A and B are shown apart, each in its own frame.
Chain A
């Protein structure tokens, strides 16, 4: 016993306890980080993998048996008496706990809800029929059911085996027509709309300047007539295409036998998940990932892709780096090279470090009040009087978002550039000056090239931070659904006054402001995965550059 007490005392005084406790702290941190990334990766990547869809025979009460079809999305364990208190009838009430399954039953237009909790114990039979069809639709979410027949536009009805083939051909055709319609609506009609708006503003400008006379009115009317004529032509073409789109129809039955007639134009994708081979699944996976990255969102952002969010984030970050890099580098050069080192520069450095710590929402508030309402309002008054009362720059938009984030990430660039400039050895600088170069020439030809990796690090860190900041953007320019991209084929091509979508805000919006959170959840994980991947890659690059930089100049110092 005394031996044990001795061991205990020796262990206590040796300090092993501290080592292991603090080691445990590191382990906890590592587990949290890696666990977070793993959680996002698993949930995000799994979203695209085609799951088996089961056909269940379910007994909700003693005398009823219903057919259910759906994907199992989640499960939980509840105490039996809780379930009984909730009014559920149980096949086997002797068990202390019951397992519940969350089934995605789809068919929201038929059932009202597309998710349903069922008791696993009450499922009498399960099957995975190979002819179970899943259709992703433009509206109302997924459809789960069986294909009965296909009615083609010429009245022909094709049944059973041949129906499958005919269906895929019809869907392919419909998707092509939809692409064409999209092209006309977005591209050509969009151009005409843009031209009409320019016309209206021109007229208003003339009105305000009291220069609207009969001649200009006539000219405007002529131009308007041309545009109207072009529009008519496109309208008829569109009407034809829309007619073509919905010519073929699918006749489907759901699990309970209800018949639905679905025009092929509604279909985005149709597949038989239970009869997928491995290659089929991989192909499907790839197609879904491509759709996620390149398609537009549907159904209030709960389905489809996030292309506008990716595009918006990229454009905003580009505009921001164009703004922040020159100014940050300029400020850093001034601080280190030109300003007299003393109390004032110390104060300025404290201020810059403080600004790195100011909450991002304060920048958002400043951006909204100063940039949007003050600067933007005045720009509208001075340069866009004809658009009044609609705001052009006096409302949140791309320019102000980029400017706000540039201000937010300025300290990062300044600190990083200053660090790079400080690593340039004095000997090199003095040598250059001794050889007769001016200060500017030394800067441009010696110092800045040597410090450019640091500047790049700063820019990458700034970009990584901006890609993830959401709070200020909520106030200065991001929206849930933007009607158009900030870059398109109409002059001035880069529309700085447009609102845009952002990946980080998309996560917040789809996860918390969505009308159907269950359906949206996998999409949120996928978007989060995308965002994390982009940011982690950028950070690792920045860290690599910084470390190699440190190694490179370690020899030159002291």
Chain B
């Protein structure tokens, strides 16, 4: 017998352990949600990281100063172009030379300037000190040997090996080249200030075969643009030319077939400061201007009131410690970011949209040349004599900062700073716009209109149900309303989008008149009923007013909608919709906040209703009876005793309803246009946090900034509903304590 008891006790102990583990496990799983969301969001705010991977000296045949440095896609090889015209391909692991080629320069000539096309700079143009330019293209042929990748560099001369004679025989101080579709334009600026242009017009043979396409250079001169030019830039569309003078004068020219025309010219630095580096941001829309005080500023062209293009300073960036002169700016190829190398060896990685210094490093001051890998994951630095450092960079989410998420940002091609959510587009040099403000605004707007519709109806209805209603009627009204709560929001949403929105649009005067007329009509009915003699009133049992009001309300509703057509014809010239657009100046969408307010209100009413009704119903009987015994009317008891006692419950119900309205997804998805705009207009749509997540999450790249910003949106939603629900829960627990004493 004792053994059996021991066994039972042992099983009991085991059970305690298992249940405890299981119980705690389940609760922990639920807490996991919050921590997982945090885990996915935190990497966005972490600083970037960079560490040197290799340091070596290149085996150069003759040390000549390097003019241009580049790293290829995989980060395995680099290219170095010297002033003598030597092209050296080397391995970034140890500096071993992989291939070498000499450009066919005239004897005793040296290169003075070099430029490449946007974004990958694979087509390069170099200016010679003896005049003219030479154009060449390089790349890597990839072959797969079994599972191994073998890359062989090559150099081509798509426009011929000969030096192109442009801008006379003076030394070329600056060049620029761009390729777009079939058109290539090349600009060369001579020391004298003369600007020459070469266009390559593709000539197809009769048969249209690719190999027979020849490009003939068409050379012309574009006039003089001034001396002491620091940088010459041509945009990708080959329509705008930027000339940056070292004294701080930046000029914007329009380029067309005939020539150039000056659009705007402005001083970009204060007097006495010299411009030291100018570079395009990827996409060739914005310019970065670095000067000798260590400052870097972003400029781009904006249309002013007269619809003319003018140069505007958009933002400036945090200065690197040391405030030494900017010696080099290199832009990232595929993102809106750039690297800055200062004269004292300070190196900074920045992002333009987020106005953020992502990483600040200190390297040897002798390292004067800088190149970024196309994927922005490697950095190559070189001294003037061939010592190189190869760094690995981890910079996954530079576009995010507090200002990028919540403040107005001046995006490229916008006339002023705005709050915009536009997470992706079809092109590669798109500037992602991750402002959460329009989404939060949309969420609050939808919740506001929903609560505006739902709260009066739910609270008044609950007060009636809990206080005035006949018990038999309460017996079936409560389940009906609880079933309303169980209705899937998909169904409410689809009815709102497919049925309610067209009906409202066609009957706008009807719905507005209904909102005004219904309370007045009910009050009139109440007055009429009150004035009836007592004999007739004795026929109607108390507490059934709601039942008799159903046909009355239906009748008023029908009347308002039936009169909507004539009202529209009399007051709004037959079309209230265009009246709203023209007279009130408001945009009108068919699926707008009015529809969402009503639909989400319908979804939220049962939540608020049941909790308020519980609160009103559980006000202790002796309080109401005491009040009535002291001579107060039903109404006085209601307004001065019951509602005050039930007010914590009512508050908590409204909070929970608000939490539900904020998190609603399907209704918003189906009943609005999902446009992330920020205005209070009743007739325009919105995009909420929840609907945004539902729409964009399945299509965002896993682990990207977009992906993590969506997690941040989920976290914001979680936080909002957490605040509302906790407030409601605390109030409810205090209420329980207070009632226990009553």
Interface residues of A, Cβ cutoff 8 Å to B: 7-8, 10-11, 13-34, 36, 39-40, 76-77, 79, 81-82, 327-328, 330-331, 333-335, 337-339, 346, 348, 350-355, 357-366, 368-370, 373, 407, 410-411, 438-441, 443, 464-465, 467-471, 474-475, 504-505, 507-508, 511-512, 517, 521, 524, 528, 531-532, 535-536, 539-540, 543
Contacts and interface: CB of A to CB of B under 8 A. Distances in A.
Nearest to B708: A369
A471 B690 contact: yes
Interface of B: 8-9, 11-12, 15-16, 19-20, 22-24, 26-27, 29-33, 36-37, 40, 456-461, 463-465, 468-469, 477, 479-484, 486-495, 497-499, 506, 518-519, 522-523, 525-527, 529-531, 545-547, 549-550, 552-554, 557, 565, 569, 574, 602, 605, 609, 633-636, 638-639, 656, 659-660, 662-666, 669-670, 690, 693-694, 697-698, 702, 710-711, 714, 717-718, 721-722, 724-726, 729, 733
Contacts of B569: 79
Nearest to B713: A365
Given A468-B489, A543-B482, A25 B460 contact: yes
A344 to B, nearest CB: 10
B196 to A, nearest CB: 52
28 contacts: A17-B523, A19-B464, A19-B635, A20-B526, A23-B546, A28-B461, A29-B461, A31-B550, A39-B495, A81-B574, A327-B22, A333-B19, A339-B20, A357-B656, A357-B660, A357-B724, A359-B721, A363-B33, A366-B36, A369-B711, A468-B490, A475-B697, A508-B670, A511-B670, A512-B494, A512-B670, A532-B491, A539-B482
In the A-B complex, the 4 residue pairs with the smallest Cβ-Cβ separation, listed nearest first, are A15-B635, A334-B23, A359-B663, A468-B488
A531 B725 contact: no
Contacts of A77: 565
A438 B31 CA distance: 32
Nearest to B695: A474
A351 B12 contact: no
A348 B31 CA distance: 10
A20 B549 contact: yes
A363 B693 CA distance: 11
A19 B468 contact: yes
Given A331-B23, A468-B489, A475-B698, A24 B553 contact: yes
A330 B12 CA distance: 15
Contacts of B480: 30, 33-34
Given A26-B460, A355-B33, A505-B490, 14 more contacts: A16-B529, A26-B477, A30-B546, A81-B574, A334-B20, A350-B729, A357-B660, A359-B717, A362-B663, A364-B697, A370-B36, A407-B33, A440-B12, A531-B490
A23 B549 contact: yes
A22 B459 CA distance: 8
Contacts, number: 320
B486 A25 contact: no
A22 B460 contact: yes
- Of the listed residues A335, A355, A540, the one surrounded by the most CB atoms of chain B closer than 10 A to its CB is A355
Contacts of A13: 633, 635
A309 B259 CA distance: 65
A501 B258 CA distance: 62
Given A331-B27, A464-B486, A25 B670 contact: no
A14 B638 CA distance: 11
B251 to A, nearest CB: 50
B488 A28 contact: no
A362 B718 contact: yes
Contact of A358 (B460, B499, B638, B718): B718
Query: For the complex, would chain A's binding face be called helix, strand, loop or mixed by DSSP majority?
Result: helix
A507 B549 CA distance: 34
Contacts of A15: 633-636, 638-639
Contacts of B557: 31
- Of the listed residues B19, B463, B529, B634, the one surrounded by the most CB atoms of chain A closer than 10 A to its CB is B19
Contacts of A440: 11-12, 15-16
B693 A365 contact: yes
B460 A354 contact: no
A29 B482 CA distance: 11
A334 B669 contact: no
- Of the listed residues B458, B492, B495, B636, the one surrounded by the most CB atoms of chain A closer than 10 A to its CB is B495
A411 to B, nearest CB: 8
Contact of A20 (B482, B489, B495, B545): B545
A360 B665 contact: yes
A543 B479 contact: yes
Contact of B494 (A18, A34, A469, A511): A511
A245 B698 CA distance: 41
Contacts of A524: 494, 498
A25 B20 contact: no
Contact of B27 (A8, A337, A348, A508): A348
A508 B718 contact: no
A14 B8 contact: no
Nearest to B32: A370
Given A25-B461, A357-B659, A14 B525 contact: no
B551 to A, nearest CB: 9
Contact of A362 (B20, B31, B33): B33
Contacts of A337: 19
A22 B638 CA distance: 12
B483 A536 contact: yes
Contacts of B498: 511, 517, 521, 524
A20 B525 contact: yes
A366 B487 contact: no
B726 A23 contact: no
A77 B26 CA distance: 59
Contacts of A20: 522-523, 525-526, 529, 545, 549
A467 B488 contact: yes
Contacts of A328: 26
A321 to B, nearest CB: 15
B469 A26 contact: yes
A338 B477 contact: no
A439 B523 CA distance: 61
Contacts of A540: 479, 483
Nearest to A19: B468
A511 B488 contact: no
A535 B662 contact: no
Contact of B457 (A25, A82, A507, A517): A25
B30 A352 contact: yes
Contact of B553 (A18, A31, A33, A512): A31
Nearest to B703: A373
A39 B522 CA distance: 25
Contacts of B40: 369
Contact of B464 (A7, A22, A508): A22
A507 B490 CA distance: 7
A335 B22 CA distance: 11
Contacts of A535: 486-488
Contact of A355 (B30, B553, B602, B656): B30
- Of the listed residues A24, A360, A469, A508, the one surrounded by the most CB atoms of chain B closer than 10 A to its CB is A24
B26 to A, nearest CB: 4
Contact of B12 (A32, A352, A438): A438
Nearest to A15: B635
A500 B552 CA distance: 47
Contacts of A14: 530, 633, 635
Contacts of A29: 457-458, 461, 481, 484, 605, 609
Contacts of A348: 27
B292 to A, nearest CB: 48
A15 B633 CA distance: 8
Contacts of B525: 20
